[in-house]
Chain A
Amino acid sequence: MTNKPATRGPAVTFALLAAATLLFAGCRQDMHDAPRYEAYEASTSFADGRASRTAPVGTVARGWLRDDEALYTGKVAGQTVEQFPFAITHADLQRGQQRFNIYCTPCHGQLGDGNGMVVQRGLRQAASYHQDRLRQEKVGYFYDVITNGFGAMQGYAEQVPVRDRWLIVAYLRALQLSQHAPVSDVPADRRAELDAAPAATERH
């Protein structure tokens, strides 16, 4: 019996250690927050406090040389291009529609009539695509406006990549066509649908 306390000693120590391990597990955050920068993290190393650096002015990153003037500016030698710089497929049009609905509808509306939600909330009236001036404009013009903005509209170069901008232009053309077509373009057997009540639209 005399040696009992001796054996109990380590057992108690072990129990206490186990409890302490459980209690304090997760208290150390070293590996949760490693000494590296996450996207957008602040940094004390730079005067502007940003860890994410922008390329110095006048430099071009490898693979980012934009020497295809028509593709990147919508112009050739200062003249607005009339043709898309690449062939537009049906899938392209669908993506164009999706991108249009994300980036353009807030102001221009799903119909492209310039009555989007943000306009309804007070932004200056956005242009309707269904006016003669814009029906006559070349595709390069729309690309240029998306890229650099126009009037109250800011440029969307940071938000929409180059290819998507062209796809939006392609969809915009389809939209113009859809709102400026004679009834005779609609197949005779489906004309009745034009007079039918519109189905409830699903909001995305």
Chain B
Amino acid sequence: MSQVFPKSANAWSKASVLAIVFVLLSVGWMVLTIQRSDYVTTANQFIEQPVQFSHQHHSGGIGIDCRYCHTSVEVSPSAGIPPTKTCINCHSQIWATSPYLEPVRASFRDDKPLKWVKVHDLPDFVYFNHGIHVTKGVGCETCHGRVDKMPLMIQKVSLQMEWCLDCHRDPSRYVRPRDQVTTMGYQPAMAQAELGPRLVKEYKIAGLEHMTSCSVCHR
């Protein structure tokens, strides 16, 4: 009986061992890449809203401070979605007959909330508080990006745990003076490597052990 496998099969069988390793690594890489993709994190995706509100116009164009509408951002877990009344402050007169804003007027007239779609939605097993971040010098822009350049609101970051930890491991790379928190396009007045550690100390931002402890966010 002749040989079932030709002699070259020896080489093939050795190569296949490598191939298996390669395939396994590739599958692993693929899974991790998909897991981090915008498709899974919903980053950089435009979301249809009841009114296509432009932050670019209101924040960038007119220069309204973030806190004019997001009134509870300094003191509460939620930054605060403005009631329709806040829109009406100006739009009782400006664009007051525009069909584009009819949903806003209808909401105010009938006392029915506009059903805004949440863009930044953290999993429910994560505790997040805007107040502590803002009062410790984390700028709006640091997490939300250049909102003043967004005609439609999009999530600019992954909001995944590795992203949170990146800052929690060393916040000195990101913190800014408190009075610059809502500034868009902020440039530190001195080198961040010098300013950051100073602010971390001044604002009494907790150390690595506390900031990366599981129960800080999963409580």
Contacts and interface: CB of A to CB of B under 8 A. Distances in A.
Interface of A: 19, 22-23, 26, 31-34, 36, 38-40, 42, 48-50, 98, 101-103, 106, 117-118, 121-124, 152, 154, 158-160, 203-204
Main secondary structure of the interface of A (DSSP, over half): loop
Contacts of B81: 39-40
Contact of A102 (B31, B68, B118, B183): B68
Contact of B68 (A22, A49, A103, A154): A103
Contacts of B125: 31-32, 34
B112 A152 contact: no
A32 B63 CA distance: 35
A36 B123 CA distance: 12
B90 interface: yes
Top 10 nearest A-B pairs (CB, nearest first) are A34-B124, A39-B78, A32-B123, A102-B65, A117-B62, A154-B89, A102-B67, A122-B94, A22-B31, A159-B71
Nearest to A103: B68
Contacts of A31: 123-125
A137 B127 CA distance: 47
A26 B124 contact: no
Contacts of A48: 111-113
B208 interface: no
A40 B78 contact: yes
Interface string B124-163: 1100000000000000000000000000000000000000
B65 A204 contact: yes
Given A22-B31, A102-B68, A117 B92 contact: no
Given A33-B124, A117-B62, 15 more contacts: A26-B35, A31-B123, A31-B124, A31-B125, A36-B124, A38-B118, A38-B124, A40-B81, A98-B179, A102-B67, A118-B94, A121-B62, A122-B94, A158-B86, A204-B182
Contacts of B64: 106, 117
Contacts of B92: 152, 154
Nearest to B28: A22
B83 interface: yes
B35 A123 contact: no
B218 to A, nearest CB: 11
A154 B93 contact: no
Given A103-B68, A106-B62, A158 B31 contact: no
Contact of A159 (B62, B63, B68): B68
A123 B63 contact: no
Contacts of A122: 93-94
Interface string B54-77: 000000001111011001000001
B198 interface: no
Contacts of A19: 27
A183 to B, nearest CB: 31
A63 to B, nearest CB: 16
A32 to B, nearest CB: 4
A106 B62 CA distance: 8
15 contacts: A23-B31, A26-B40, A32-B125, A42-B115, A48-B112, A101-B65, A102-B68, A106-B62, A106-B90, A117-B64, A121-B62, A154-B85, A158-B85, A203-B63, A204-B180
Interface string B95-126: 00000000000000001110110100001110
